[in-house]
A and B are shown apart, each in its own frame.
Chain A
Amino acid sequence: MSAALDIASWVLLVGGALLMTIGALGLIRLPDFFTRLHAAGVVDTGGAGLLLLGMALQTGFDLVTVKLVLIGLVLALTAPTASHAVAHSALLGGLSPDDPSANRAGDGRDEAPD
């Protein structure tokens, strides 16, 4: 029972860590601002979700489990709100989602003048 729980918990924790890493890789690898936002989404949902589930299996299902569930709930409410705020301000700041080639990272746009 507890060995099975441990194995399941480890699978979830390693999976979550993997998703976090891939999300971070996506933040570097994807070409422009809006596509990079989607990589952050993997970190927020898949990465954090699997890590929390993995930790929940280690708690023995008491009030600590409830706290982990609450952390998940708070993350599920705040993460998309923050993403939306960042995306909306990018839109207001003049980045065009329809023309990704204009927003390529490293084209000098986000560097200070002179």
Chain B
Amino acid sequence: MPPARTFSLFVVLFGAWLLLSGHWDPFLLGCGAVSAALVAALARRMGAIDGEGHPIQLAWRFPAYLPWLVWRIALANLAVVRAILSPVAALDPAAGWVDANQKTTAGLVAFANSITLTPGTVSLTALPGRIHVHALARGELEELKEGEMNGRVCAMEGRR
């Protein structure tokens, strides 16, 4: 539990305080700094600050991942809307396991959440190495199995 991670939690908390309050007088700034420091210190004492409790290591490469994810979500929204508005008999839902090559739990969760966030695919179970996925259309499951999203989340994790 390196202090650098505790400090980064403090910065994030204090940043949230500044942006949400919008007050810039010294008294409130001081209150914010003390609150943020107290929470960071408590979290550190609880042992809650690690790669899972405060996964800041994913944040650096997140901006590179986000536009692709938003684009996929937009496409998937249209696909699911089409499925909702077409006859129910045309549905072809499928479930299956998808490879997950992330090396950390935070990375695995990021991948599983990306799958669920994309309409039309939901992660049912996430295990190290593989994720059980339910898809509204068989094609979406096959596309996940091809592994582009898997690879992009791995790239966000970085090499370690």
Q: Which residue numbers of A lie inside 8 Å of B, CB to CB?
A: 19, 22-23, 25-26, 29-31, 34-35, 37-39, 41-42, 44-46, 49, 63, 66-67, 70, 76-77, 79-81, 83-84, 87-88, 91, 97-98, 100
Residues from chain A with Cβ under 8 Å of B123 in the complex: 80, 84, 87
Contact with A along B59-88 (1 / 0, CB 8 A): 000000000000001101100110111001
CA distance A22 to B83 in the complex (A): 10
Identify 15 residue pairs between A and B in the complex whose beta-carbon atoms are under 8 Å apart, listed by A's number.
Answer: A19-B81, A26-B80, A34-B95, A35-B93, A35-B136, A37-B134, A38-B121, A38-B136, A41-B120, A42-B80, A76-B117, A80-B117, A84-B112, A84-B116, A87-B122
Q: Are A41 and B116 in contact (CB-based, < 8 A)?
A: yes
CA distance A88 to B20 in the complex (A): 34
Beyond A45-B77, A87-B134, whether A79 also contacts B117 by CB under 8 A is: yes
**Residue B118 CB within 8 A of the other chain:** yes
Q: Are A38 and B113 in contact (CB-based, < 8 A)?
A: no
Q: Are B80 and A97 in contact (CB-based, < 8 A)?
A: no
Q: Which residue numbers of B lie inside 8 Å of A, CB to CB?
A: 16, 19-20, 22, 73-74, 76-77, 80-81, 83-85, 88, 91, 93, 95, 112-126, 132, 134, 136
Known contacts A34-B122, A70-B16, A76-B117, then 16 further A-B pairs from the complex at CB < 8 Å, ordered by chain A residue: A19-B77, A23-B84, A26-B80, A31-B88, A35-B136, A41-B117, A41-B119, A41-B120, A42-B77, A44-B119, A45-B118, A46-B81, A66-B20, A84-B113, A87-B122, A100-B93
Q: Are B95 and A38 in contact (CB-based, < 8 A)?
A: no
Which chain B residue lies CB-closest to A62?
Answer: B22
Residues from chain B with Cβ under 8 Å of A100 in the complex: 93
Beyond A35-B93, A97-B134, A100-B93, whether A84 also contacts B88 by CB under 8 A is: no
CA distance A77 to B58 in the complex (A): 14
Q: Are A37 and B80 in contact (CB-based, < 8 A)?
A: no
